[in-house]
Amino acid sequence: MTIIPDSHRDLLERPLFAHLATIRPDGQPQVNPMWFSWDGEFLCFTNTTVRYKYRNVTANPHVAVSINDPDQPYRYLEIRGVVERIDPDSAGTFFMTLADRYAMALDGPPPDAQYRVVYVVRPTGSSSQ
């Protein structure tokens, strides 16, 4: 059995926004829409070490992701997972890769590149509608 249903893989392959939920130190959820990529095994997100989300995932690596189909709003994919690695990206290379995926023309890396990291998330479960 695969964690991601074949019927919903297109939501991972299209440049849609994923809502990445993390757990704050006080136990409350925190969620933001984010760019992502999917390589067939891992979901990857870019963020910085100076944001709350970084503090959240370093304290508790369990996350949830929700992606809905903009053409069919009641069709969605929810993925539960664990941040398996946090890779440095101080050149902003992964950010630029995602900018290309989302058709955002940029003249170079973001101004906060020195703080950039990549969250590498291993899916552990999913549900879909």
**pLDDT tens per residue across span 60-81:** 999 999 999 999 989 999 999 9
User: In the beta sheet, which residues pair with residue 43?
Assistant: 38, 121
* CATH number of domain containing 104: 2.30.110.10
Residue 72 within any structural domain of the chain: yes
Q: CA–CA distance from 96 to each of 87, 104, 115 (Å)?
A: 15, 9, 14
- Per-residue pLDDT at 2 exceeds 80: no
Question: Which tokens go with 32?
Answer: 């933001």
- Per-residue pLDDT at 129 exceeds 90: no
- Per-residue pLDDT at 112 exceeds 60: yes
User: In the beta sheet, which residues pair with residue 46?
Assistant: 118
- Structural domain of residue 46, as residue ranges? 6-128
Q: Give how many domains the chain has, as a whole number.
A: 1
Residue 31 within any structural domain of the chain: yes
Residue 89 within any structural domain of the chain: yes
Residue 73 within any structural domain of the chain: yes
Question: Which tokens go with 23?
Answer: 């757990």
Mean pLDDT, all residues of the chain: 95
Strand order in the sheet with 72-88: 29-34, 18-23, 62-69, 72-88, 116-128, 43-48, 37-38
Burial of 55 (0-12, 13-18, 19+ CB in 10 A): middle
pTM: 0.93
Residue 1 within any structural domain of the chain: no
